[in-house]
Structure 1
Amino acid sequence: MDITITLTDEELTSLDKNLIKECLGLNTDSDLNEGLASLAKASFMEYVKMFKEKGLPTRAD
């Protein structure tokens, strides 16, 4: 399954991108895209695990 996420320049500014690259030790925008894709996949898999173990969250949660 392919999932695409599009972020605007307002959602992820150049300053944000530079900070993330610095924190992750990345040099290029291509490296940043790959790094963010890996983080997004890991985050998504955490949600899948949560759904499997506890079901959907409710407002009370």
Structure 2
Amino acid sequence: MTRAGELDEIGALAGMASDGITAHRVAVWGYTNASVTGGRAWLSASSYERVSTDYLGLFAD
């Protein structure tokens, strides 16, 4: 499930042109690279965790 509509709305409220489908693709690209390179995801002010392939499952259609 994508949230393209929500991303489009956020962009519109911020006064920026946006494309939810492209934003989704960029997110998949970013999280894939983070997973491969050992990147970390921000959870809270002082809490991070390694981005695993489990994150990529969140982007499944």
Shorter-chain TM-score bucket reads 0.3 to 0.5
What TM-score, normalized to structure 2? 0.40
Higher relative contact order (CA 8 A, sep 6+): 2
**Comparing both structures, which one devotes a greater share of its residues to helix?**
1
* Structure number with bigger Rg: 1
Could you state the TM-score of these two structures normalised by the residue count of structure 1? 0.40
More strand per residue? 2
